[in-house]
């Protein structure tokens, strides 16, 4: 298992703040995410649900899109994902694939508001992403 790194708690704090802005009136399941670049820029996101349900977007993808829209497409260091539950979160398959586009070996820090923590990697979560160059 990966170790937590210095700075992870800061990233978790930003993700927890973003979580408070989640728009989740249907599931009531609020998720926050924050992604940090190696140059220490942090971009956050929260899940945004929709009455049509299927148009809902997860917190992780919101964070990635905020970063990319700000001009950051490479050199990511870590993403933190926070929920308020008695179990740790784990990113959905769609988010894993979207993260892999920009950071296939990203560190992933899973956290709860109550203080549970786990560090892993995108490689562990999605060992064979669909990427140019990965075709078999």
Task: List residues near ligand THU by CB under 6 A.
Answer: 24, 27, 29, 31, 47, 49, 56, 58-60, 89, 91-92, 95
Minimal distance, residue 40 CB to ligand THU, in Å: 24
CA-based end-to-end distance of the chain = 28
Pick 1 or 55: Cβ nearer ligand THU: 55
Sign of CA dihedral 110, 118, 76, 10: positive
- Whether 60 is catalytic: yes
State the Cα–Cα distance between residues 34 and 11, nearest whole angstrom: 6
Minimal distance, residue 132 CB to ligand THU, in Å: 25
3-state SS class at 108:
strand
Minimal distance, residue 128 CB to ligand THU, in Å: 20
Catalytic option among 9, 60, 72, 101: 60
**Nearest residue to 76 via CA among 58, 51, 101:** 101
3-state SS class at 40:
coil
Pick 89 or 104: Cβ nearer ligand THU: 89
Q: Annotated catalytic sites, by residue?
A: 60
């Amino acid at each position: 298992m990966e170790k937590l790194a210095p700075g992870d708690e800061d990233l978790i704090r930003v993700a927890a703040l973003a979580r408070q802005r989640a728009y989740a009136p249907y599931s009531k399941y609020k998720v926050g995410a924050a992604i940090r670049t190696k140059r220490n820029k942090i971009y956050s996101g929260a899940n945004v649900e929709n009455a049509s349900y299927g148009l809902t977007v997860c917190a992780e993808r919101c964070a990635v899109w905020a970063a990319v829209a700000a001009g950051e497409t490479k050199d990511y260091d870590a993403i933190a994902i926070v929920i308020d539950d008695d179990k740790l979160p784990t990113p959905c398959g769609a988010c894993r694939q979207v993260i892999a586009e920009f950071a296939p070996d990203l560190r992933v820090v899973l956290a709860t508001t109550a203080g549970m923590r786990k560090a892993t990697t995108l490689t562990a979560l999605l060992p064979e992403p669909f990427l140019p160059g990965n075709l078999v």
